[in-house]
Structure 1
Amino acid sequence: MKMAIIGCRGIPAEYGGFETFAEGLTENLPDAELDITVSCEYKPPELRHKKYNGAELEYFPLKPPHNYLLRKFYENFSDIYFLIKLSRANELIYFLGIEVGMFIFLPKLFNRKSRIMVNIDGVMWKRSKFNFFERWLLKINHDLATIFADTIIVDSKQMKRYIDKNKLHKTRYLSYGIKIPERITWNGQTLERLKDYTPINIISGNYFLLVARLEPENNIHTIINAFSQAKVNIPLLIVGDFTSTAYQEEVTRLAQNCSPPGVIFLGSIYDDQLLNMLRQNCTAYIHGHSVGGTNPSLLEAAASRNIIVAHYNPFNWEVCKTAALYFNNEKELAIKLRSIYRHPESYSELKNRVYRRVKNNYLWEHIATGYLSLFKKINGEKKERLTRLEMDYEGKRA
C-alpha cells in the first residue's frame, strides 16, 4: 500500500510534535507492508536525505520566508502543493493537522482510489498566539477537515469531544508513541556538548526542566512567574524556541525577576542524547501545555522517569492520571516547586508510576500495530468499494 504523510516540516525531526510523530511512525511501521512518502520543507540539495527510516522524502521547491505571517502562508501553500502532487501516486493520504482542512478533498480530484486520513491534533482555534481571524479560520478548517476526511485520527481520547457526533463513526483513537530511551550518564562527551548551549555549570539533579515551543498556550510566562515566587536555589532550564518576538520580550523580562541562578534559555536542542540526559537527571519536569492532544514532550518526560508537574487539563490528566502533580495557576505551581526542591524524596514514587503508565499505554510497538491494523482495514474497504463500482459498471453495460 502506497501512503503519503503530509503536514509536518519533514523528517528527521527538527521542530515539533508532528515531526517527532512522523519520524516515530515511519521508524516503527514494517517496510514490507507500506511504501511511505513524507513531505518535507525546503532544504538545500546537499542537506537532503533521499530516504529516511525507509520512507521516500519529497521536498518543497521554495525556501521558507523568515517573516511569521509569510511563513504561515508558505506552510499552507506547501501543504496544498503536496496534497495535489502526492495524491497521484499514493492510495492513502495521511494529513497531519487541520490548517488547510478546506483543501483536504483535493486528492480525490486527482485519484479516485485515494483515501484520506486526518490527524486533527489539538484545539488549535483556542491558541492565544493566533488572532481572532486566525482562530475563526482554524475552526472552519477543523470542521471541514472532519467532513472531507474518510478517517479522523485523534491522539487523545479527550479530542473526541471536539468532533461532531455525526462524524464519530469514522473517528479512531491512536496516540503518539514513545520509545524508552537508554540511560545517559552525567559525564563524558554528552555533558561536554551542553557547553555549546550554556557556559553555566549545570549540576545533575539540581535543576528544573521545561521542553516546549515557547508560546502562550504552553504557559511559559506562568511557569517563570511561579519559579520566581518559589525562590529555590537551582536554575530552571528551558529548551525550545520562541515563535513570537513580542512574547519573547515579555518572557525574557519576567525571567529577569528571578533570583540567581535563575532561568537559563538553551534554545532548541535536537541532540537526542543530550536532551535525554537533561530529562533523566532533572529535579522535576514542568509541563505547561494546555490546549493540545497527547504531547510528545510529556511522554518523553514520563519515559525518562521524571517527577512531572503538569498544567491541569483533560489532555495531561489522560496521560498521567494520578502519577503526576498538577497546577492551575502560578501560585499553585510555586508551592509545588518549593516542596519538590525541599523534599524530593517525598515524590520519588511518582517517577515509577508515570513511567509504568507510559510503558503500558504509549510504546511505539503498540501504537504502530494499531496504525498498521487501521491501514489494512482502509485498504480492504477501498478494494471492496472498487469491486462494487466495477460490478455496477459491468451490470450497467450488460
Structure 2
Amino acid sequence: MPARYGGFETAVEEIGRRLAEAGHEVTVYCRGERHPEREYLGMRLVHLPAVKKKVAETLSHTGLSVLHAAGRRITRRGPDVALVFNAANAPLLPVLRTLRIPVATHVDGLEWKRTKWSGSGRRYYRTAESLAVRWSDALIADARGIQDYYTERFGADSVFIAYGAPILARPDIGKLAEAGYAPGEYHLVVARFEPENHVHLAVEGYRRSGAVKPLVVVGSAPYADAYTTQVKELAGDDPRIRFLGGVWDQDLLDALYAGALTYLHGHSVGGTNPSLLRAMGAGACVVAYDVNFNREVLGEEAGRFFGDVESLAYQVEAAEADPGAAADRGEAARKRAAEHYVWDDVAKEYEKLCEDLAARRRTRRTVRPKK
C-alpha cells in the first residue's frame, strides 16, 4: 500500500478501505516499499520482509505474516477472519486453522499455466490448489471460468466475487502531452512481460500491420530477462514501437489508457484482469486475446478479439481505418464496467463473506469435495 503494481494490491486497497469505512478493523500485511505511516486509508499496515527469490518471495512473506497474526491471536488481539490472496499460500493455512481463525482463499487464476514456472513449480501450484480446497473455509473466484475450473477439477464450491473497475470520467489528458502523446494517436499495451500475457504477439502483430500510429508498450518483469529480450528483438528497429518500461505515475497511466486508440490485452491465464477493467473504465477500445476470461468480462459488444499475429494486425488496421467505431466500442466498454464491476458492490460481498465466516455459516464443509 498504496497499490501500484498488480491486481491483488488494487483489490486489497479498494476492498480494505471500504471495510474500514464500514467500521471494521482491517490489517494488511505488506512487502516492498514502506508507506511512511502505519495506517493508510483506515487500514493498519504491517510491513514484513521476504526472500528476494522468485520461488520463495511470496511464501516467505506469507509465512511471516501468518506467524505475526498467530501471535496477535494468542494475545487475544488477533483477527476474526483471514483473507489469503493466492492459492500458492495454501501450505500455511493449517497454522491459521490451528488458531481457529476462519480463512477464505482467493485462488486467483490458473497460475500453474504460467510459463515462468518449471516442472517443479508447476507441480507445486497444482498441489497448492488442492490444499486450498482442503484447508480453506471458503474459496473466492473472481471469474466464472475460475469457478467452473474448481468445480470440474475438485468438485469444490467457491464464492464468485469479481473485481471493480475505476471509472475515469475526466482523466488528466494533460499528462499525455507532457509524455509526448495525443488522444487517439497511439495503440497501447500494459502488461508484465510474461509469455502468457502475449506481449510478443502484440508486438509482432503490430509490426506486421500497416498501422501508422505508434505502439506504446508499458511494463516489465523482475524475473523475465530472456522474454524481455525476445520481445525487443521482435520489435527490432521499428520506429513505431516505443517501450516505456514500468509507469508508476498512476495519473499518467490512467491518461495513457484513456487516450489510446486501442488497448491490446494479451492476458490469458488469470481470471478477471484488473488491467482490462482499468482500460474499460477509461473508455479504451479493447482488442483482447481470445480466451473465456476476456470474453466473460467484455461480453460480445464491448471488445474485439485476436488469437494470432494476423488477426491482431487486422484489428489494429481496422481501428485506424474507423476511429469513430473504435471510440464507440470504448464507450460500450466503459458502460459495461460501470454496470458490472463496481468496487462498492465488491466490498459488500467481501463484508458478507467475512461475516459468514466469523459466524461459522461458512466452513470447510461448504468447500470440500462432495463424497
User: TM-score when scaled to structure 2?
Assistant: 0.90
Q: What residue number does 1:209 align with?
A: 188
- Return the offset for 1:271: 1.7
**3-state secondary structure, aligned to 1:104:** helix
Q: How many residues align?
A: 356
Q: What residue number does 1:303 align with?
A: 281
Deviations 1:217-259 (A, max 9, x none): 000001100000112111111111123111111111111153x
In structure 1, C-alpha distance between the alignment counterparts of 2:153 and 2:121, rounded to whole Å:
26
Q: Does 1:27 align with 2:14?
A: no
Whether the 8 Å contact between 1:129 and 1:217 is mirrored in structure 2 is no
Deviations 1:186-211 (A, max 9, x none): 32xx34653xxxxxx32321100111
| Residues 364 and 317 of structure 1, relative CA distance in 2, 3 Å threshold | same
Gaps of 5+ in 2: 365-371
Q: Which amino acid letter does the alignment assign opposite residue 109 of structure 2?
A: G
Q: What residue number does 2:38 align with?
A: 50
Q: Which amino acid letter does the alignment assign opposite residue 325 of structure 2?
A: S
| Residues 193 and 107 of structure 1, relative CA distance in 2, 3 Å threshold | farther
Deviations 1:47-105 (A, max 9, x none): 5330112111111145x53xxxx243132111112122214211211000011322222
Q: Which amino acid letter does the alignment assign opposite residue 180 of structure 1?
A: I
Q: What residue number does 2:91 align with?
A: 102
Deviations 1:305-364 (A, max 9, x none): 111100010100000011100011111111111111122123332122211211111011
Q: What residue number does 2:65 align with?
A: 82
In structure 1, C-alpha distance between the alignment counterparts of 2:33 and 2:172, rounded to whole Å:
34
Listed as ranges, the matches of 1:1-398 within 5 Å are 11-43=1-33, 47-61=35-49, 65=52, 70-87=53-70, 88=73, 89-109=78-98, 111-112=99-100, 114-164=101-151, 170-187=157-174, 190-191=175-176, 194=179, 201-243=180-222, 244-256=224-236, 258=238, 260=239, 262-322=240-300, 323-381=302-360
Whether the 8 Å contact between 1:147 and 1:167 is mirrored in structure 2 is no
In structure 2, C-alpha distance between the alignment counterparts of 1:350 and 1:43, rounded to whole Å:
38
In structure 2, C-alpha distance between the alignment counterparts of 1:286 and 1:177, rounded to whole Å:
20
| Residues 50 and 193 of structure 1, relative CA distance in 2, 3 Å threshold | farther
Whether the 8 Å contact between 1:183 and 1:277 is mirrored in structure 2 is no
In structure 2, C-alpha distance between the alignment counterparts of 1:131 and 1:373, rounded to whole Å:
38
Q: What residue number does 1:395 align with?
A: none
Q: What residue number does 2:367 align with?
A: none
Gaps of 5+ in 1: 1-10, 195-200, 386-398
| Residues 338 and 228 of structure 1, relative CA distance in 2, 3 Å threshold | same
**3-state secondary structure, aligned to 1:203:** coil
Whether the 8 Å contact between 1:293 and 1:315 is mirrored in structure 2 is yes
User: TM-score when scaled to structure 1?
Assistant: 0.84
| Residues 235 and 335 of structure 1, relative CA distance in 2, 3 Å threshold | same
Whether the 8 Å contact between 1:156 and 1:294 is mirrored in structure 2 is yes
Whether the 8 Å contact between 2:138 and 2:363 is mirrored in structure 1 is no
In structure 2, C-alpha distance between the alignment counterparts of 1:335 and 1:271, rounded to whole Å:
32
Whether the 8 Å contact between 1:209 and 1:284 is mirrored in structure 2 is yes
Question: Which moves more between the two structures, 347-356 or 277-286?
Answer: 347-356
Whether the 8 Å contact between 1:122 and 1:292 is mirrored in structure 2 is yes
In structure 2, C-alpha distance between the alignment counterparts of 1:318 and 1:170, rounded to whole Å:
20
Superposed CA RMSD in Å reads 2.1
Q: Which amino acid letter does the alignment assign opposite residue 99 of structure 1?
A: A
**3-state secondary structure, aligned to 1:20:** helix
**3-state secondary structure, aligned to 1:99:** helix
- Return the offset for 1:42: 4.4
| Residues 321 and 81 of structure 1, relative CA distance in 2, 3 Å threshold | same
In structure 1, C-alpha distance between the alignment counterparts of 2:178 and 2:65, rounded to whole Å:
37
Whether the 8 Å contact between 1:237 and 1:264 is mirrored in structure 2 is yes
Question: Which moves more between the two structures, 159-168 or 311-320?
Answer: 159-168
Deviations 1:337-392 (A, max 9, x none): 1111122123332122211211111011111111112222222226999xxxxxxx
In structure 1, C-alpha distance between the alignment counterparts of 2:363 and 2:141, rounded to whole Å:
26
In structure 2, C-alpha distance between the alignment counterparts of 1:367 and 1:168, rounded to whole Å:
25
Question: Which moves more between the two structures, 116-125 or 167-176?
Answer: 167-176
Which structure has the higher relative contact order (CA within 8 Å, separation 6+)?
2
- Return the offset for 1:166: 9.1
